[in-house]
Structure 1
Amino acid sequence: MSALDVSVFPSDFAWGAATAAYQIEGGWNLDGKGPSIWDTFCHAKGQVFEDQTGEVACNSYQLWEKDLKCIQQLGLTHYRLSISWSRLLPDGTTNHVNPKGVAYYNKVINDLITCDVTTMVTLYHFDLPQALQDRGGWNSAEIADIFESYARFCFKTFGDRVKLWITLNEPYVCAKLGHEDGIIAPGIKEPGISAYVAAHNMVRAHTKAWHSYNADFRPLQGGQISLALNSDWTEPLDPGCPKDVAATERYKAFTLGWFAWPLFCTGDYPESMRSRIEAKSLELGYNQGSRLPHFSKNEPSPLGTADFFALNYYTSRKVKDWNSACKNSELSFKCDQGAEGVVDPSWPICGVHWLAVVPDGLRKLLKHIKDTYTNLPIYITENGFSQMGPVQIEDVDRCHFYHDTLQEVCKAISQDGVNVKGYFAWSLMDNFEWIHGFSVRFGLFHVDFATPELKRTIYRSGREYAAVISKHRTETKSKNVEDILSRNV
């Protein structure tokens, strides 16, 4: 492999790793924590690999010091974590605050500061309090105001030390997989309707939280706030086929565009998305109003409600037209989209079946974001490589993946002029990987789930990532010294 030119990365580049509360914390019913929709989903049999749950996971709630040692061993400058909403507010509202939950996150944040690690905090990473789901969850209009209240509580409680906030993680996944396909919590299957409502309320919730922070907390705390959007890179399966070319544009509009367009372009969903959904409704005789909600003029606009672009990238797809399969069909998101993403057979697969390894797709996507949406700073808030089956501590393939991916980020910065400010590997350590349970491992650290100690052992990829970080820090420090000396001559 060619050497990675770390000098390309800005001197203040964020070298990070990411985790999520339900995937690592455990302690699902300890110290006053309320249940989340993932507790409920996992306790219903047949939903998750071997009926595994996140009841214990990595037990980070009780073993946080072990996590901190892992962070220090990597030499991370930044750590992205999520707050368990129901650990702080067991019923989801500020009417009932759990002091032990507050104490836990205060300790985590304070310990990171002591170790000179900057914290990026995600307020919502899929684990809605079950009490709020019982009130309609993301399909209820009131959820946006409840989320704003929760966000304000977090800003007030932790915002003096947290300067990077993510409101929501991957609203596309929550809406599509949780409210259309029903394969993740809360397991709702209402094709062609529920996903649009849930997504709309998530955008409203983010918007209210951003405006609240901007007006009442930013002047004193000086932080930044965004939401993390996941996206594949997409290209037509047959570039010479006009139908595949058009399908690719629809695919983009219905995935990244669904959430990025309101924030960065017009304050509304892509017009191509809205017209397509309305046409499908007419074709199928649906006459109960627009399935894609409209933003109210009585609420703050989502336009401009992101201080940076937070991107989760894992894979790429070739896209083909899917209109012919939708004739006389039922309402569904896929028929609205009229496109299907497929894996190029030349792409290697790592671990889970959907994860094709396409590092150069990240560079292309970064340039697309810069050219289409914004030149704001971009943080790659998740990116990773999984393994299944026998664990390989000497995970050479993952090492190659991280090297190749960081090379593509270098090209995006140096050749395409993309303002990439940070990279967060997914994940700090092996964890509960949603419906795949513990069968899929993304960690820079191996976790031995078979023993109560849950021993963390660094993978080779973790050692090599640490070496990249150390090299960049050393070269940056050396350059800073040279700059100071040259100014004093």
Structure 2
Amino acid sequence: MTRVSVALAACLVIPLLAVQAQYRYVSGNGTASSCNDGYSNATAPTPSYSSFAYTQTQVRQTATRASTFTSTPTYAAHYSSLSSLAPQVSTSTYGNWQSGGSPVGTSTGFEPYGTAAWTSLWQFANPVNFTRGIYSTTVAPTPVATAELVKPDPLYFGPTDCRQFPEGFMWGVAGSAGQLEGAVADEGKGPNALDVSSSEVPSFVDNFSADENYYLYRQDIERLAAMGIKYYSFSISWSRIFPFTEVGSPLNAAGLAHYDDLIDVCLQNGIAPVVTLAHLDTPLPVWKGNNTDRARRGEFGGFTNGGYYRDDFVDSFVQYGKTIMAHFADRVPIWVTFNEPWPVTTNAQAAYNVIRSHAELYHYYHDVLNGTGSVTYKSGGPLGIPLDPTNATHVDASCRYNDFYTGVFANPIYLGQDYPDAYKETVKDYVPLNQSDLEYFKGTADLFAINIYSANLVEPIDPSSGRTAAQCISNKTDPGWPYCTSTTTLTETGWQTGYKSQSASPYSAPRLTRTAFNYLWNTYKTPMILMEFGFPVFGEAEKDLDAQRYDTPRSEFLLSVMSELLAAIWEDGIDLRGAFAWSLLDNWEFGSFAPHFGMQTVNRTTQERAYKRSFFDFVDFFQARVPQQ
């Protein structure tokens, strides 16, 4: 058997790329682990007989519930002291929308933000095949039965590391409003891009009930607490707070009360809430969804339109963000402004608007509210890793890829530097940043937050395609624009990057995740946090419940990534502050319920949940390696 030893190259963005790696091929076989059990030096085993009896050698353990806070942590003054610093808006209530029915609470006279106007938003959205779930009010929690909390037998081949995470390391689970909540037209929520996506993309499955977390959140938090989870990262639905979104439009009282209680229930159960403000669910009045806006899709590399480019986006989003921060700043330790802005950034103006609105909210939180928590945004993955790290052109291609996927936002926000040169050379209508902009943007993220599920192996454009990078850069219709590189799923030696569950899912590549962290840490020099990582098991949706629950490939992925995080901390010197697994439940993965990323199953008819073995393995790993908090 031939082994390959690889040391990956460093990526020096400016001015040149340094290649510091080489492949080293050696011959040989695998070696057995050394053991000191008294038999290692024996020349041969000695057969013998003994009395036989069936014995139970496994100890049955149950999960340990999360300990409650001895005192509720605070990160800013209570809203009663901050109310004068929040946007001054009125509040309103709207009820539930009924598809095909008469407008709810039709107003008399002209009320631009009245109930009839709210109903007209849904009539304009016209969601396809609209349905409701089985719940219409918040469900009271019940204790999780002890039988549900019995741990499975340990994996036969488990982690072998003996390191500890640093004191204060944050770990937990993540989800998002659009993928979990359901109740999309209930209690005053307005329509957003995800609610009408089925009419835009024929292959999308409607997501109107999802996991009904909007009504089951107290029970879902009870289930997290019973497993010992310490952090819950979730998103707030912008359209549930400001259905009309315009500056000065009313605040939906029911939506605000819902998230206020969600945060309180987390804290009551010893779970710290992490809040994301925008998770790909732009409200309809900003996103619009009309023909003019739809035509803008594909303008920037074929990405989905998030409405971020609009002239009114910054003011509308900042009003929403300031409102939420002022109300909940006392109880939330980490604020995330945007989840993965790049895939819904349709043009250069959209990129600028994201940076501008993020920076405004950072300064508002720290300079106006005097918040002591953290503000960040979530960069997306996978990052680009050179296919052949010994080849300077491959390193150059991966750096260009990362400049676009990460650097467009990260350069101004973390470093106070201009957009990457590759971006400005390719996107000719980029919004220039002056010195005042760079000073205002610099350092407006306390953590480098990243979602990583896999990695892309990158190389230059294949010459056999008849295209060149220069041609791609100047041609927006080129299939590789704006990256103008090629990606592959095969390593330099011809092996697939890692285990892959199905066509649309990521590859399991934990070692490349560690490489990505090294690149980001040494480029942006900011404490890091892994905001999302997870994995779907092949064909899980078609399996019976018992088979779904025994999700060994997911366990192996999670444990492998977490072992690599420990190596990154101790061997690479990376300041890594936390990690959150995606997701607490099987959910709507933007068009389908088939890819299962959850650590709990969900019965789509009854909404019953069941823990998977990966949940127990995930929690056990951290509880054994994180100092007691």
Class of the TM-score when normalised by the shorter of the 2 chains = 0.7 to 0.9
Aligned-partner Cα distance in 1 for 2:386–2:569 = 25
Q: Deviations over 1:60-115 (max 9, x none)?
A: 11111221122113311111000000001111245211111011101100000101
3-state SS of paired residue (2:332): coil
Aligned-partner Cα distance in 1 for 2:372–2:391 = 49
Distance 1:293 1:465, change over 3 A: same
Alpha-carbon deviation of 1:298? 6.4
Q: Deviations over 1:399-438 (max 9, x none)?
A: 1111111110010011111111111001111000003x10
Aligned-partner Cα distance in 2 for 1:238–1:366 = 18
Higher Cα radius of gyration = 2
Aligned-partner Cα distance in 2 for 1:17–1:351 = 23
Among 384, 391, 403, which residue is 2:559 paired with? 403
Aligned-partner Cα distance in 1 for 2:185–2:326 = 25
Q: Deviations over 1:39-80 (max 9, x none)?
A: 1212446141xxx12210000111112211221133111110
Structure 2 partner of 1:37: 193
Among 465, 477, 484, which residue is 1:338 paired with? 484
Equivalent residues of 2:559, 2:621 under 8 A apart: no
Structure 2 partner of 1:284: none
Distance 1:4 1:121, change over 3 A: farther
The answer on 1:353 being equivalent to 2:482 is no
3-state SS of paired residue (2:358): helix
Aligned-partner Cα distance in 2 for 1:224–1:353 = 33
Aligned-partner Cα distance in 1 for 2:597–2:367 = 38
Could you tell which deviates more after superposition, 327-336 or 59-68?
327-336
Q: Deviations over 1:202-236 (max 9, x none)?
A: 1111111112222211x2x3221000101224332
Alpha-carbon deviation of 1:468? 2.1
Aligned-partner Cα distance in 2 for 1:132–1:336 = 26
Structure 1 partner of 2:76: none
Alpha-carbon deviation of 1:350? 2.5
Could you tell which deviates more after superposition, 403-412 or 264-273?
264-273
CA RMSD of aligned residues (A): 2.1
Aligned-partner Cα distance in 1 for 2:232–2:165 = 18
Alpha-carbon deviation of 1:388? 4.4
Distance 1:199 1:238, change over 3 A: same
Among 255, 263, 269, which residue is 1:109 paired with? 263
Alpha-carbon deviation of 1:301? 2.6
Aligned-partner Cα distance in 2 for 1:266–1:319 = 27
The answer on 1:251 being equivalent to 2:251 is no
Alpha-carbon deviation of 1:352? 4.4
Aligned-partner Cα distance in 1 for 2:588–2:601 = 12
Alpha-carbon deviation of 1:27? 0.3
The answer on 1:73 being equivalent to 2:219 is no
| Runs of 4+, deviation exceeding 6 Å | none
TM-score normalised by length of structure 2: 0.66
The answer on 1:141 being equivalent to 2:141 is no
Superposition pairs of residues 142-157 of structure 1, within 5 angstroms: 142-157=312-327
Aligned-partner Cα distance in 1 for 2:164–2:477 = 45
Superposition pairs of residues 299-310 of structure 1, within 5 angstroms: 301-310=440-449
Superposition pairs of residues 368-383 of structure 1, within 5 angstroms: 368-374=519-525, 376-383=526-533
3-state SS of paired residue (2:531): strand
Aligned residues: 437
The answer on 1:55 being equivalent to 2:193 is no
Q: Which has the higher helix share?
A: 1
The answer on 1:325 being equivalent to 2:470 is no
Distance 1:78 1:398, change over 3 A: same
Aligned-partner Cα distance in 2 for 1:439–1:99 = 35
Distance 1:15 1:242, change over 3 A: closer
Amino acid at match of 2:452: Y
3-state SS of paired residue (1:108): helix
Equivalent residues of 2:172, 2:233 under 8 A apart: yes
Aligned-partner Cα distance in 1 for 2:168–2:219 = 26
Distance 1:296 1:233, change over 3 A: closer
Could you tell which deviates more after superposition, 85-94 or 308-317?
85-94
Alpha-carbon deviation of 1:303? 1.5
> Which structure 2 segments of 5+ residues have no match?
1-156, 294-306
Amino acid at match of 1:261: N
Aligned-partner Cα distance in 1 for 2:165–2:590 = 33
Q: Deviations over 1:354-377 (max 9, x none)?
A: 411100111111111121111x32
Among 327, 331, 354, which residue is 1:161 paired with? 331
Aligned-partner Cα distance in 1 for 2:505–2:602 = 23
Structure 1 partner of 2:152: none
The answer on 1:387 being equivalent to 2:537 is yes
Among 456, 466, 473, which residue is 2:619 paired with? 466
Amino acid at match of 2:353: N
Structure 1 partner of 2:74: none
Aligned-partner Cα distance in 2 for 1:6–1:57 = 40
Aligned-partner Cα distance in 1 for 2:363–2:408 = 20
Equivalent residues of 2:500, 2:508 under 8 A apart: yes
Structure 2 partner of 1:8: 164
Superposition pairs of residues 144-223 of structure 1, within 5 angstroms: 144-175=314-345, 179=346, 194=347, 196-217=348-369, 219=370, 221-223=371-373
Amino acid at match of 2:356: R
Could you tell which deviates more after superposition, 221-230 or 20-29?
221-230
Superposition pairs of residues 430-441 of structure 1, within 5 angstroms: 430-435=586-591, 437-441=592-596
Amino acid at match of 2:510: P
Equivalent residues of 2:537, 2:553 under 8 A apart: no
Superposition pairs of residues 239-318 of structure 1, within 5 angstroms: 239-275=389-425, 277=426, 290-295=428-433, 301-318=440-457
Alpha-carbon deviation of 1:297? 5.8
The answer on 1:454 being equivalent to 2:607 is yes
TM-score normalised by length of structure 1: 0.84
Aligned-partner Cα distance in 2 for 1:248–1:139 = 27
Structure 1 partner of 2:176: 20
> Higher relative contact order at CA 8 Å, sep ≥6: structure 1 or structure 2?
1
Distance 1:267 1:210, change over 3 A: farther
The percentage of aligned residue pairs carrying the same residue is 28
Structure 1 partner of 2:252: 98
